[in-house]
């Protein structure tokens, strides 16, 4: 008889280090054939692309991407269907689910453990929840709570459901897990990490707390741990509350916290200096997380990955545009991937800027207008009359 497949769920706030951890797992020396479900709230699943870049295809493992919603609410049924279909595959040893950064962990655990969903699919015996992991950005916790009011006092204050904010989501994610990874410890001093560890421990007494940099932890801490125990977890206050409310009554984060997302797209390139000035001087505080691919006029042969998480900005060269590859190679990829072919621009090929913004009460049109001002226009591009200077000292050979 086929054995039930264990599942590890990775939750954690936007930009905490879940994808970094997932890539660490996929490159790990565990000998497991792992299927992965990646969930992104925006309509473009950037994580999926990054995981593919990270060598996922090489391992020929199974990746299911769920975008434009959250597996704890709008995509909950899709998650159940996906797990049901993965369980039918003959050679999967393990499933890792990366939840979107705004997912609440309890409804996800519910979907995996309770047989009474509206689809009538009973996952019991096919898959089981092995470990709930929460990745926490230690720097963010420090900025949000560490230097000011103690986190436990804030928790006591949270009595009015109408006034829940992002910090409550962070607390929910901290509270409901078996393993808590305190990531980005490199961004704090030792005494600060100690303080944060104490604060987190005051909220979460059961979970194992592991400090990390770039989510580098021993994989035995989060795979096949057998730590998830439904009965024990049922004592968690939030879990009981959700159970009482029932399956359908989970309030989506969009309503609960005023979170929204949109994708900025352009077929024209960005001017690197103007884009950099936007990031450094005019980046709106309402954006909690952004992530995407940028075409820079000054670095036109390859795409760049830009991402922001809180106050941190990361921008780096990623990979050559298909349009720059030799014709035979390009035709080969295009014949295999009709989606790229469909989006192919007659002049610029697959070059495109595509950035997902997730934030709270964002002024979308204002952000779009600011980004439009960074574009190099068609005439300048055609004539080559645009600034060639860039603040990014990238060597093409490093790709
Ligand atoms: N300094 C520092 N940066 C880190 C660390 N771990 C991850 N990062 C960076 O933080 C950013 C976010 O990391 P991700 O792994 O994409 O975070 P995520 O939780 O998957 O983000 P979402 O999918 O948007 O929720 C990236 O730029 C990472 O390179 C760390 O330990 N230290």
Q: Does the domain at residues 5-256 carry the CATH identifier 3.40.50.300?
A: yes
Given the CA of residue 212, which atom of ligand 1 is nearest to it? 31
* pLDDT on residue 397: 60
Residue 274 exposed, middle or buried by CB count within 10 Å (0-12, 13-18, 19+): middle
- Tell me the best of 9, 13, 16, 20 to mutate to test the pocket of ligand 1, counting ligand atoms within 8 Å of each CB and taking the most: 20
261 lines ligand 1 (CB under 6 A): no
* pLDDT on residue 259: 67
137 lines ligand 1 (CB under 6 A): no
Given the CA of residue 21, which atom of ligand 1 is nearest to it? 15
* pLDDT on residue 251: 61
pLDDT in tens, the chain (399 residues): 678 999 999 999 888 999 999 989 988 888 898 998 988 766 556 666 665 554 444 344 577 777 667 777 777 788 888 888 888 888 889 999 999 888 888 888 888 887 766 777 888 889 999 999 999 999 988 887 655 444 444 444 433 443 445 666 787 788 889 999 999 999 999 988 988 888 787 677 788 999 999 999 999 999 999 999 877 776 654 455 555 555 455 566 666 666 677 889 999 999 999 999 999 999 998 887 788 899 999 999 999 999 887 677 889 898 899 999 998 988 888 888 888 888 899 999 999 999 988 777 889 999 999 999 999 999 999 999 999 999 998 876 655
* pLDDT on residue 152: 41
Domain range summary for the chain, segments of one domain joined by +: 5-256, 260-398
* pLDDT on residue 352: 93
Residue of the CA atom closest to atom 12 of ligand 1:
15
187 lines ligand 1 (CB under 6 A): yes
Cα 116 to ligand 1 centre (Å): 35
* pLDDT on residue 157: 43
Handedness of CA 51, 57, 61, 64 (dihedral sign): positive
- Tell me the best of 14, 15, 18, 187 to mutate to test the pocket of ligand 1, counting ligand atoms within 8 Å of each CB and taking the most: 15
351 lines ligand 1 (CB under 6 A): no
* pLDDT on residue 185: 97
16 lines ligand 1 (CB under 6 A): yes
Q: Which CATH number fits domain 260-398: 3.40.30.10, 3.40.50.11540, 3.30.1220.10, 3.90.1150.10?
A: 3.30.1220.10
Given the CA of residue 183, which atom of ligand 1 is nearest to it? 31
């Amino acid at each position: 008889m086929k054995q039930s497949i264990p599942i590890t769920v990775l939750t954690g706030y936007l930009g905490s280090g879940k994808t970094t951890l997932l890539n660490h797992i996929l490159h790990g020396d565990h000998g497991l054939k792992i299927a992965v479900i990646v969930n992104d709230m925006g309509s473009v699943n950037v994580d999926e692309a990054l995981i593919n870049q990270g060598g996922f295809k090489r391992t020929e493992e199974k990746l299911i991407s769920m975008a434009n919603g959250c597996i704890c609410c709008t995509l909950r049924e899709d998650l159940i269907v996906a797990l049901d279909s993965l369980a039918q595959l003959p050679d999967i040893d393990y499933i890792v689910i990366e939840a979107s950064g705004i997912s609440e962990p309890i409804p996800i655990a519910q979907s995996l453990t309770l047989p009474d969903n509206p689809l009538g699919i009973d996952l019991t015996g096919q898959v089981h929840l092995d470990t709930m992991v929460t990745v926490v950005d230690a720097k963010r916790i420090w900025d949000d709570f560490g230097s000011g009011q103690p986190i436990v006092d804030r928790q006591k204050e949270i009595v009015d459901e109408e006034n829940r904010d992002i910090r409550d989501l962070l607390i929910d994610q901290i509270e409901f897990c078996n393993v808590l990874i305190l990531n980005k410890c490199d961004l704090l001093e030792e005494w600060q990490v100690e303080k944060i560890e104490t604060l987190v421990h005051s909220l979460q007494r059961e979970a194992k707390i592991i400090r990390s940099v770039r989510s580098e932890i021993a994989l035995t801490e989060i795979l096949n741990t057998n730590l998830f125990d439904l009965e024990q977890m049922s004592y968690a206050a939030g879990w009981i509350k959700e159970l009482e409310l029932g399956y359908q009554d989970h309030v989506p984060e969009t309503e609960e916290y005023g979170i929204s997302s949109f994708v900025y797209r352009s077929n024209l390139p960005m001017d690197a200096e103007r884009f950099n000035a936007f990031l450094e001087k005019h980046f709106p505080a309402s954006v909690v997380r952004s992530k995407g691919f940028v075409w820079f006029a000054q670095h036109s042969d390859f795409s760049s990955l830009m991402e922001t998480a809180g106050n941190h900005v990361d921008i780096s060269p990623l990979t050559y545009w298909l349009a720059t590859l030799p014709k035979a190679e390009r035709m080969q990829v295009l014949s295999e991937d009709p989606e790229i072919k469909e989006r192919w621009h007659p002049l610029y090929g697959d070059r495109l800027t595509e950035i997902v913004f997730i934030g709270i009460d964002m002024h979308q049109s204002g952000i779009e207008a600011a980004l439009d001002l960074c574009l190099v226009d068609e005439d300048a591009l055609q004539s080559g009359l645009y600034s060639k200077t860039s603040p990014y000292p990238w060597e093409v050979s490093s790709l």
